[in-house]
Amino acid sequence: MEKKDYPIIVEQAHRLAQEIMKSHGDKIVNTDLPVSAFMFHRPNSLIESYQHGQAVSRILAKWQAAPALQAAGILHSFVYKQVLTPERIAAVCDERTAFLCQTHRDILQQAPEGLYRGNLQTLKRVKLYIAAYCDPDLAFLSLASLWDHFILVRQSEMNLQHFFAEEAEAVMIPLLNLMGMSVLKTEAEKWLMQRVQNQQDYQYLLKRLNQTEEMRKQVFELVKERLQPVLLQAKLAYRPQTPVQIYNPQLPEKAHPEAFQRLYVDLLVETEEACYATLRWIHCLWQPVDYSLVDHIGLSELNGNRYLQTTVTIPQNGSMIRVQFNIHTHEMEQINQWGLAALRMGERYQVELPQAWWSRREEGYQKICSAPLGSLPEILYVFSPQGEIFRLYRGCTVVDYAYQVHSEVAHQCKRFKINGEVVGPATPLHHLDLVELERDPQFSGPSRAWLNAARTNRARSHIERFLKRRGQDQLQGRAVLERQLQQLAAHYRLDIPDHRLEQALGQAAKHLNFERLEDLLTEIAAGRVSTDPILHPLFADEVVRQIEIPAGIRLMSHQLSLAQCCKPRPGDNIIGRARYHEGRIIYLKIHRADCRMISHLQESLPLKWRLQPKLNAVARLEITALARSNLLYDVIGVFQGDLPDLTLHQVEAVVRNGAIHISVTIEARDQQIIDEIAKDLEQLPGHTINEVRQMQLLFSEREELIKPLTPAGFNPYRRQPVQNREMFFGRSEALAHIHEMLRAGVGIIFVQGQKRVGKTSLLLHLKKYYLNRRPYLPVFVDLQMLSRLNSPFFHYELASAVYNDLQVESRSTDLEPPLQELFEVEPTTQLADYLKYIQGYMGSQLVLLIDEFSRTIDAYQQHRLDDTLFQQWRGVLQATVPEVSYVMVVQQQTYDHLRKQANQADLGPIWHLLELGEVKVLKPLDEKAAQQLIERPTYNYLEYSSEAVRYVWRLTGGSPFLIQAFCFNLVRHMAHANRRRVEWADVEAVQNEFMQPNESLFAHLVDIIQGTPQALSICHCLAQIAAKVDQPSPLTSLEVALPHLSGERLQRKLQKLTNQHILIEPQPKQWQFASLLFGRWLALNHGLEKDGTD
């Protein structure tokens, strides 16, 4: 066909479209679709099809597309709606136009085989990738159609923009990237970022870039001045930075700080040889940054981009500025901007690009057509996010794909996605899935679950080498920790117990978002995590306890810190560097008096060490031995011979991997007795003793030993969950109600309540006294004891916890344990099947009493857990109820936080789970129940006056935890005074014992206050009143004292604190502390004032 005839096809297509409009005039009506479906189904009517076709044709003409493609742009919507046949198009226009319209419709309308896994936007993206491999003109046709939508949406209302934004991000921008049309891609990305959700970030980054624009231009002029004399033929261009280039929503400033100063320079030269000559000059003039050289001239990127890139550092005003040079020819520039369009449209450059996807297009399309979309053939192919095709086999998983891409990429893969949905490592792939790998350079790497999920030799060999290397790294990490621990122990002359070290490591792993302790040890071995922030606080906490604070200064332990410059230790002459707020000391840093770092400073506070508690010879014996029967009995027998010259204070034993670790805290008349016992233990007959170590007790442990006890050692109160029936009061109604719900067939019950209100004690009593006989089989599981929450480990550890609980109480010694290998493949199904197996085997209704379930919700909200767990757990519940029943504890604070964010879509999985069950709310004890808990446990030992009982109740506010802690000290006080009748004055004296700044009794109440904005101001105001008199404060008085809060807002905050049991409202619009003890402690201790919540 001659060039002069090209426009005829387009004109014929116009006339054919007009004929369709006339012959189908009765169908020119808008379909009544919701807004959410409008853009996805557009054009909705024939008139829109006609208008859309005209617009698409104009866009293609602007891109200088072939006439047949322009004609297809006019007619493709009519073919899609089946009001125009390809045969008629072929007769009026030509075969090429008919082919494009027909194939475009067939590809978009093809349905996946079976149930499609993924979202519809990703499915559309896959279909357009298929279209591109079939014929690139089909991709241009689809892009022009999407671009017309884009033009329309930018002029439309916000709701249409919202729905198209998803399609732009998931479909249009990736397709533009595949076709190499970076000019249009940049424009779309800029629009996407300027939308409401990211507009604030965009404006912030734009402002920051504008502030450094002048500096970058100055550096560019310097670069230009140095390069132009040596590169006479080159053209230098300053490339302005945009917020889109540097945007990173994960960073605090939404971009790396260095990005605001980086300069981008484009260098255009005539030939490829000139590109390398230019690179040599740049490296001669400035210092290149290591690993910054990227050469894509010989081997282009997948979308045809070719360039030479390097980064150098240039001094400017005392700092080093990074400058990135992009070197390319004029021909490369056109292809980099327009991709395949530069080869098939416009000037039609003749360039061979063997690495570009279109150079292998026909081979790729044959692979695509080898099996139906979504099927499971023997050999299958999947797409990368960029549109590259990878070959795999039936049964291969996302792990196999990751190692097909690159082993280092796979090692850093934090999450896998198939067709836009997050999946587990064992998820099998289907033909033409689109697989994404979410990388994190800080990720701990593959686990054994990955090894079980891998099917290819390549993936398995890489994972096995990594796991072997990490095992060695873990041992090295332990060695690094031990060396640093020994150095600190020698310096501070303190021995830290093993359990304290393990607690610190666990907390550090959680804080640094490591799934396992082993991952933390690996990072320590690699030097990416320092041991100082982990180990030093262990010693600092103990040293700080031994410092005597001068009278008149009230500071909590977190307001004291040890200086790292001189590291003072007990016995050194010490001083404090004070920080003041409103004339009051709020912080002290402890230095040695001769510290050089502060020798030039005048102001310091002299300090001295507290006296050590007076004890006989004390020690902690750490025994490591081969685990054998009767070992613990024989160890205790060694101490019997030295009674009464020896007191055994504490014995702990842990068995792990065939070895037993026993820790014994003893006090003897003299050190010789302890030395002789240690020698006897080393030579214990009939046992293999590996080591016996004598450890010094920490200051806090020595203090604990000298606390006075009652003459007979009797004190029934504890701060731990209550397990004895004689100490459990005020919960009869709650226990009976839960029992009744279980009998009525309610399979899922959530127990809600504030921290320390007695939820764990309730579960323990349900198990021991209410569900302890048929038809129930109660099992208590504490999620705090589960080391990993992510699937499949969560499901396996939960099943193991159920099994272990049944074994501990010998309720079933021949029950089969869960197999970890099965859980790694199908964790949800395996857990449901295992619970049903237990229920069937035992012949009773299994009732899981799950404590601290809110730990999973907290982990999800802290982004340490994805929503897969909640979806899977919901599936387990639905699959096992009514054979299995569940009673789960959820913290009220967690539930309140969820309600505050109820509109957030990402919390949907949690709400879908919580809506399955009934709720039982636990509140503090009423006065009658509180009086029972105060008097009954010591009925034969103590006698309370009525004023004393009521005073204890007022001080504790009916909190079982506060009552237990207060009465523990009260019993000890009465034993020390050798009296039986408790009077008001005794309660007042014990109250003063809880007024110390570092008192941990109120930590749960402080957490609640700090989590509620403005709560601290309100509580501080009420605390000043509580310190003087126990009476409620009217709203009017609080409004005067807190003028920065409006009356309505103040009342809302007061009501919230009342609902959280911090305050009570004894009379309308009058408030006071529920716990008078907490109010008075808060009045005395001001360290919380500057917590940033107000």
How would CATH label the architecture of 209-344? 2-Layer Sandwich (3.30)
pLDDT at 41 over 50: no
Average pLDDT over residues 876-887: 87
Q: How many CA atoms lie within 13 A of 494 on its CB side?
A: 29
- If pLDDT is split at 50, 70 and 90, which confidence band does 251 have? low
Place 281 in a pLDDT band, splitting at 50, 70 and 90: very high
Confidence at residue 124, expressed as pLDDT on a 0 to 100 scale: 92
Indicate whether 159 pLDDT > 90: no
Q: What local confidence, expressed as pLDDT, does residue 535 receive?
A: 85
Which pLDDT belongs to residue 1089? 47
Instruction: Give pLDDT, residue 398.
Output: 92
Give the Cα separation of 235 and 265 in Å (integer).
10
* DSSP alpha helix (H) spans, 546-670: 631-640
**CATH (residue range 927-993):** 1.10.8
Do 71 and 13 contact (CB within 8 A), yes or no? yes
For the segment 571-582, the average pLDDT, to the nearest whole number, is: 82
DSSP-assigned letters across all residues of 279-328: HHHHHHHSEEPTT--EE-SSS--TT----EEEEEEEEETTEEEEEEEEEE
Q: What is the DSSP letter of 425?
A: T
Reading the block at residue 644, the tokens are: 């009464």
Give the pLDDT confidence score for residue 97 in this predicted structure: 92
Residue 440's pLDDT is what? 81
238 vs 906, residue with greater confidence: 238
Q: Does domain 1003-1084 have CATH number 1.10.10?
A: yes
pLDDT at residue 700 in the model: 63
Three-state secondary structure call for residue 1089: coil
Residue 591 has pLDDT above 80, yes or no: yes
Q: Which of 50-54, 533-537, 914-918 has the lowest mean pLDDT?
A: 914-918
Question: What are the CA-CA distances from residue 639 to residues 290, 702, 875 (Å)?
Answer: 65, 20, 54
Residue range 1005-1012: mean pLDDT, rounded: 77
Residue 188 tokens read as 């779309």
Q: What are phi and psi of 732, to 5 degrees?
A: -60, -40
Q: Shortest CA distance to 983 belongs to which of 947, 932, 937?
A: 947
Least confident of 20-34, 39-53, 357-371, 443-457: 20-34
pLDDT of 183 higher than 60: yes
C-alpha dist (Å) from residue 599 to 421, 544, 588, 595, 603: 61, 22, 17, 6, 10
Residue 337 C-beta-side C-alpha neighbours within 13 Å: 12
Q: How many CB atoms lie within 10 A of CB 900?
A: 9
Q: In what order do the strands lie in the sheet with 1063-1067?
A: 1033-1034, 1070-1073, 1063-1067
What proportion of the chain, given as a percentage, has pLDDT over 70? Answer: 90
Among 343-347, 439-443, 745-749, 792-796, top mean pLDDT goes to 745-749
- Residue 1063 burial (CB count, 10 A): 26
How confident is the model at residue 624, as a pLDDT?
A: 86
Evaluate whether 887 touches 751 at the Cβ level (below 8 Å).
Answer: yes
- List, in sequence order, every residue forming a beta bridge with 591; answer none if it has no partner: 575
Calpha distance 652→663 (Å, rounded): 5
User: Does domain 731-921 bear CATH number 3.30.300.90?
Assistant: no
Structure tokens at 742: 């279980």
| Beta partners for residue 577, in sequence order | 589
Task: Give residue 769's pLDDT.
Answer: 80
Q: What is the three-class DSSP state of 584?
A: strand
Apex CA 846: angle with CA 845 and CA 850, to 5°? Answer: 145
Tell me the mean pLDDT in the region 486-515: 79
Residue 816 has pLDDT above 60, yes or no: yes
Compute the mean pLDDT over every residue in the chain, rounded to the nearest whole number.
Answer: 82
Segment holding 675, helix H or strand E: helix 671-682
When pLDDT is averaged across residues 327-343 and rounded to a whole number, the result is 89
More confident residue, 679 or 644: 679
- Residue 224, pLDDT > 70, answer yes
For residue 435, is pLDDT > 90? yes
Which of 143, 135, 108, 106 lies closest to 365, judged by CA?
Answer: 135
pLDDT given for residue 702 in this prediction:
67
Three-class SS of residue 572? coil
The architecture of the domain spanning 3-179 is Orthogonal Bundle (1.10)
SS3 1031: coil
d(CA 146, CA 148): 5
616-638 confidence digits (pLDDT tens):
678 888 888 888 777 887 888 78
Residue 712: predicted pLDDT: 45
User: 215 to each of 219, 220, 265, 635, 1023, how far by Cα in Å?
Assistant: 6, 9, 14, 75, 54
- 702 or 42, which is more confident? 702
Q: Confidence class of residue 402 from pLDDT cuts 50, 70 and 90? A: very high
Q: Which of 76-80, 367-371, 445-449 shows the lowest per-residue confidence on average (mean pLDDT)?
A: 445-449
Structure-block tokens of residue 961: 């935890």
Per-residue pLDDT reduced to its tens digit, 1023-1066: 877 667 778 888 888 888 888 888 888 888 888 888 888 888 88
CB 613 within 8 A of CB 677: no
Would the pLDDT of 30 be above 60? no
The first and second tokens of residue 390, run together, are 């990878």
CA 772 – CA 450 distance, rounded (Å): 41
User: Up-side HSE of residue 933: CA atoms within 13 Å toward CB?
Assistant: 33
Question: Is 569 or 458 the better-scoring residue by pLDDT?
Answer: 458
Maximum average pLDDT range among 38-42, 151-155, 210-214, 324-328: 324-328
Give the percent of the chain with pLDDT over 90. 17
Q: Find out whether 306 and 268 touch, Cβ atoms under 8 Å.
A: no
The answer, yes or no, to whether residue 612 has pLDDT greater than 80, is no
Closest C-alpha among 962, 961, 982 to residue 971: 982
Q: 766 Cβ partners below 8 Å, 6+ apart?
A: 735, 738, 739, 778, 847, 849, 887
- Over residues 531-545, the pLDDT tens digits come to 888 888 888 887 877
Q: Give the pLDDT band (50/70/90) at residue 660.
A: confident
Alpha carbon 23 to its chain's center: 60
Confidence of residue 809 (pLDDT cuts 50, 70, 90): low
> Can you give the pLDDT at residue 476?
82
Note the pLDDT of residue 166: 84
Tokens of 825: 């493949």
pLDDT beyond 50 at 951? yes
Tally helices (H) and strands (E) across the chain. Answer: 45, 30
The pLDDT of residue 908: 62
pLDDT for the residue 711: 41
Angle of CA points 362, 366, 372, to nearest 5°: 140
Nearest C-alpha neighbor of 801 from the set 753, 749, 829, 838: 838
- According to DSSP, residue 716 is labeled -
Structure tokens at 117: 């896994």
List, for residues 1081-1091, the tens digit of each pLDDT value.
Answer: 888 876 554 44
CATH superfamily of 370-455: Beta-grasp domain (3.10.20.30)
How far apart are alpha carbons 307 and 329 in whole angstroms? 8
Instruction: Kindly tell me if the per-residue pLDDT of 423 is higher than 60.
Output: yes
CATH of 617-705, one of 2.40.30.10, 3.40.640.10, 3.40.50.720, 3.30.70.260: 3.30.70.260
Give the pLDDT band of residue 1094 (cuts 50, 70, 90): very low
Q: 622 forms bridges with which residues in the sheet?
A: 663, 693
Paired with 1064 in beta bridges are 1072
Q: Is the pLDDT of residue 414 over 80?
A: yes
Cα separation, 606 vs 574, whole angstroms = 7
Whether residue 33 has pLDDT greater than 70: no
Q: How far apart are CA 145 and CA 150, in angstroms?
A: 9
First CA to last CA across the chain, in angstroms?
77
| DSSP 3-state of 228 | coil
User: Where is average pLDDT lowest: 133-147, 226-240, 1078-1092?
Assistant: 1078-1092
Instruction: Kindly report the length of the chain.
Output: 1094
Q: What's the pLDDT at 35?
A: 37
CA distance 1039 to 40: 54
Read off the pLDDT band of 467 (50, 70, 90).
confident
pLDDT of 28 above 70: no
Q: How far is CA 459 from CA 364, 428, 447, in A?
A: 24, 14, 12
For the chain, domain boundaries:
3-179, 209-344, 370-455, 466-545, 550-613, 617-705, 731-921, 927-993, 1003-1084
Question: What number of other Cβ atoms are within 10 A of residue 16's Cβ?
Answer: 21
Collapsing DSSP to helix, strand or coil, 849 comes out as strand
How far is Cα 222 from Cα 128, in angstroms, rounded to an integer?
Answer: 46
